[in-house]
Amino acid sequence: MKKPSSKLRLWIYPLITALVVALVGMWAIGTVRREIQKNLKKELSTILSANVNALEIWIEAHKNTISVITTGTNLRRIVMELVSLEDGNRLSANRNSRLIRKNLQMDLNDQLSEKIKRANYSGFVVIDPKGRVIAAGSDDLIGMHIPGMPEFHKRRSPRRGPRLAKKPLRIGRLVHVFETGEPEVVAPFKVTFSELPREFAQSQPRDSSSIIMMVGSPILSDEGEIIAVLGLRIRPREDFTRILSVARSGQSGESYAFNTEGMIISESRFDQQLMDLNILENSSENTCVLNLQLRDPGGDLTQGFVNSDPRSSYPLTYPVKLALGEKSSDGINIDGFRDYRGVNVVGAWKWLPEYDFGVVSKMDAVVAYRPLVVLRRTFVVLIGMLSFSSIGMLVSSLGAVRLQRRVQKAEMEIRQLGQYTLRKKIGEDGGMGAVFLADHVLMKRPTAVKLLPPEKAGRSAVARFEREVQFTSRLSHPNTIQIFDYGHTPEGVFYYAMEYLEGINLKKLIRDFGPQPDGRVIHILDQICASLTEAHRRDLIHRDIKPANVILCERGGIYDTVKVLDFGLVKSIGSPEESSEIMVTQEQSITGTPLYMSPESIEEPSTVDGRSDLYSLGALAYFLVSGENVFQGRSIMDICRRHIDTPAVSLSERTDKPVDQRLEQLIMQCLEKDPQARPATADALQSELRKCAAFGAWNDSDIRDWWNQKLRQDASRPEKSDQDTASQIAETIQINYKERQIG
């Protein structure tokens, strides 16, 4: 009977786990949030920089275009004559002067019309230093005085600059052309009928207005003085807005420009939404350009928030307020602020003092932080499930079930399997089953018993298990592990008994003692060849020759005796009846260990023969001599590709120690990609190994000294954890060709 305290522990574990998960969740959420914010800063800065750079390139292109136009000789001549007529105060002196002016206007139109059309401008004006329009694409504008345009009391060279009146300028930055003598772009501005000349305004509707954007450039006299400014009208909706709409993030990101009054001067991607919210008049021709001031309504209007105060009383949005406050500010906010719709957003901004407007790039915060929301919800659900599980465990009888499983496990470990009594677990076989040390009931002989538990006894697993027994039991060579018995219990546990080996496998040998002398390598290879020779003569291919499947042990007082293990992947190439069942589970699959697989076993596994084992043996020998695998890689697929198409580096290049030349040649011959280029048989390879100069160099004295001094001395050392990336992927695998192709 379990004590109450043990029952208490059953349900407290999920609560502790939930607490741990909560702490891990807090850490993970914080880490992800910082990473998201880092990426947001980078993304917003990149988008903003892309937009600003694109605008600057676009502006410079317009400046260059108008500069080319204003340097034309005919254009300058015509404008000089027009200015001369105006300065002579002969606006209505006689019919002849009006005719001259009209002809000059026609000549100017001829000069500019084709250039304007080609450059996609929509009109032009020529303004003299007194603010008078002396020429224009529309005759109604000729003679107009630009409202608020200061008059020059004295024209001077652009190098020295003109002297201006202090009256404020209405048309914008075109005055800078007179000041600096350099081309200027005027940000979009609105001109209403009240600002037009009376005779022109009378022909316009009372509510009419026009969005204008211009680029201006000085026209110089022969002496280099500014005699007038040519202004070309840009289509802001077609060019200016389009540039800002190219670089934006997702469905909620946008970039827009704003002027010194906080008015948006480029189109918004949310025009229709603004109309639905009654912020803009609902009209197909309407736009927020110079109709919307960028103010924070105090709440999310798209979610039904209502602010009854006049919009003009709202504060400016966060980036606009900062930018206009310093007029040189740029910044970024990833914590969130409300935009002109009241939606919480993140964004970056930059004020461009040389153009007198700013640019904002933003996206909705809910979109920017969506991965964080998903992660937070996942942890909440996980913690809830763990808490719920603890309650369920408290009211259930899982304690009894757990106790029962422990009893069953204990019974499994001490169960009598035929004539064998299990003593302790000594290993695992690649997930296929467990290996136990056992005693024969009558002979008391130590035996290794391999078990296949019921939960792993699928059709393919049982077939492999039985194959290993059937094929290995046919082999009697002293260097091949011996099978004693086979059977299964009424509970469905399959098992077989084999000789128990106390020794060290080649993987651990190299890991603990490093590369081996050439003589010992030949001594080991000679015995493996002997084991394979018998198997191949019986038409059996091992297909998984690797260091972990070869053990050095003592047999009959002879040390350094080799035992070849694990014939679980063996394939028969004998009669069709014998091999047909095997191929049911092996068709179109790779079987083996990636670090030691032959190219043909990867590409055409159904065609392998004994020479495939010799390739694996060559890779094993390479490992023994150099302490390193033939190929390294980041993944199983990477290693497989190298086996297929990458020549092996010679041992002389891989290791600093001298290598028996004949031994190296044989190892490299085994590693040939073409099976025809390898030794024909294991027996032939064994014969060639015995011709090596180092053959016999590892003698009985060396063997005795090594086992007596080295192995026993190091037997008490704790096992090292294998940190080698290659060893982590050196497990036996089966890769289905239909799912993963070797390219």
**What is the model's pLDDT at position 245?**
76
Boundary-marking domain end, from 369, 396, 431 = 369
More confident residue, 90 or 46: 46
Domain span including residue 533: 503-736
**What is the model's pLDDT at position 130?**
79
**What is the model's pLDDT at position 584?**
36
Same domain for 619 and 552?
Answer: yes
Boundary-marking domain end, from 313, 337, 369 = 369
| pLDDT at position 595 over 60 | yes
Following DSSP, what letter does each residue of 498-566 receive, concatenated? EE---EEEHHHHHHHH-SPPHHHHHHHHHHHHHHHHHHHHTTEE-----GGGEEEEEETTEEEEEEE--
Q: Is residue 84 part of a domain?
A: no
**What is the model's pLDDT at position 424?**
83
CB 344 within 8 A of CB 41: no
CB 689 within 8 A of CB 695: yes
Structure tokens at 472: 């290995």
CB 619 within 8 A of CB 671: yes
Same domain for 309 and 335?
Answer: yes
CB 424 within 8 A of CB 412: no
CB 189 within 8 A of CB 40: no
**What is the model's pLDDT at position 319?**
92
Q: Is residue 4 part of a domain?
A: no
Sheet containing strand 330-338, edge to edge, reads: 254-258, 357-364, 344-352, 330-338
SS3 5: helix
Residues 6+ apart with CB under 8 A from 407: none
Tens of pLDDT, residue by residue over 335-360, are: 999 999 999 999 999 998 888 889 99
**What is the model's pLDDT at position 103?**
84
**Predicted confidence band of residue 454 (pLDDT cuts 50, 70, 90):** low
Same domain for 636 and 724?
Answer: yes
Tens of pLDDT, residue by residue over 400-421, are: 555 556 555 555 555 666 778 8
Q: Is residue 684 part of a domain?
A: yes
**What is the model's pLDDT at position 324?**
87
Same domain for 477 and 569?
Answer: no
Q: Is residue 1 part of a domain?
A: no
Distance between CA atoms of 234 and 34, rounded to whole angstroms? 43
**What is the model's pLDDT at position 591?**
55
Q: Which of 213-217, 283-287, 521-525, 606-610 has the highest mean pLDDT?
A: 521-525
Tens of pLDDT, residue by residue over 266-324, are: 888 888 888 888 888 776 567 788 888 999 999 999 898 988 888 889 999 999 999 88
* Residues recorded for the chain: 743
Helix (H) or strand (E) holding 337: strand 330-338
Q: Is residue 149 part of a domain?
A: no
Number of helical H runs and strand E runs in the chain: 24, 22
The residue annotated as part of the active site, out of 296, 364, 544, 560, is 544
The CATH number that applies at residue 331 is 3.30.450
**What is the model's pLDDT at position 2?**
42
* Residue 194, CB-side half-sphere exposure with 13 Å CA sphere: 2
**What is the model's pLDDT at position 408?**
59
Out of 66-75, 387-396, 529-538, pick the least confident. 387-396
CB 445 within 8 A of CB 439: yes
Beta strands 420-428 and 434-440, pairing class: antiparallel
**Predicted confidence band of residue 646 (pLDDT cuts 50, 70, 90):** very high
Helix (H) or strand (E) holding 187: strand 184-192
**What is the model's pLDDT at position 395?**
58
**Predicted confidence band of residue 4 (pLDDT cuts 50, 70, 90):** very low
Q: Is residue 651 part of a domain?
A: yes
CB 341 within 8 A of CB 314: no
Q: What is the amino acid identity at position 711?
A: L
More confident residue, 559 or 145: 559
SS3 83: helix
User: From start to end of 344-472, where are the E strands?
Assistant: 344-352, 357-364, 416-417, 420-428, 434-440, 446-452
| pLDDT at position 558 over 70 | yes
Beta strands 226-234 and 209-220, pairing class: antiparallel
**What is the model's pLDDT at position 200?**
40
Out of 6-15, 61-70, 609-618, pick the least confident. 6-15
Distance between CA atoms of 237 and 673, rounded to whole angstroms? 66
Return the ∠ at Cα 665 (arms to 663 and 670), rounded to 5°: 95
Q: Is residue 116 part of a domain?
A: no
Q: Is residue 142 part of a domain?
A: no
Q: State the angle between helix axes of 4-70 and 73-87 in degrees (0 to 180), rounded to the nearest 10.
A: 70
Task: Give the CA diameter of the chain.
Answer: 141
Same domain for 485 and 521?
Answer: no
| pLDDT at position 29 over 70 | yes
Same domain for 473 and 533?
Answer: no
The CATH number that applies at residue 452 is 3.30.200.20
Other residues' Cβ atoms within 10 Å of the Cβ of residue 272: 12
State the average pLDDT over residues 81-100.
66
| pLDDT at position 380 over 70 | yes
Same domain for 460 and 544?
Answer: no
**Predicted confidence band of residue 158 (pLDDT cuts 50, 70, 90):** very low
Q: What is the amino acid identity at position 244?
A: L
| pLDDT at position 208 over 60 | no
More confident residue, 319 or 165: 319
Mean pLDDT computed over every residue of the chain: 78
Tens of pLDDT, residue by residue over 99-125, are: 888 888 888 888 888 888 888 888 888
**Predicted confidence band of residue 471 (pLDDT cuts 50, 70, 90):** confident
The β-bridge partners of 351 are 358
Other residues' Cβ atoms within 10 Å of the Cβ of residue 505: 19
Q: Which of 150-154, 301-305, 665-669 has the highest mean pLDDT?
A: 665-669
Same domain for 650 and 602?
Answer: yes
The CATH number that applies at residue 710 is 1.10.510.10
Same domain for 682 and 609?
Answer: yes
**Which pTM does this prediction carry?**
0.47
* Residue 142, CB-side half-sphere exposure with 13 Å CA sphere: 18
**What is the model's pLDDT at position 280?**
82
| pLDDT at position 664 over 50 | yes
State the average pLDDT over residues 647-652.
93
**What is the model's pLDDT at position 597?**
92
Same domain for 641 and 527?
Answer: yes
More confident residue, 300 or 721: 300
More confident residue, 733 or 133: 133
Same domain for 474 and 602?
Answer: no
**Predicted confidence band of residue 711 (pLDDT cuts 50, 70, 90):** low
Tens of pLDDT, residue by residue over 222-268, are: 888 888 899 898 877 777 878 887 766 767 888 999 988 899 988 88
Comparing CA positions, the residue from 638, 648, 655 lying closest to residue 678 is 648
Distance between CA atoms of 662 and 649, rounded to whole angstroms? 16
State the average pLDDT over residues 610-628.
95
| pLDDT at position 494 over 60 | yes
Q: How many domains is the chain partitioned into structurally?
A: 3
State the average pLDDT over residues 455-459.
67
Structure tokens at 687: 């014969």
Same domain for 611 and 637?
Answer: yes
Boundary-marking domain end, from 499, 519, 536 = 499
More confident residue, 538 or 190: 538
CB 681 within 8 A of CB 531: no
Share of the chain above pLDDT 70, in %: 74
**What is the model's pLDDT at position 431?**
55
In the residue annotation, 544 being an active-site residue is answered as yes
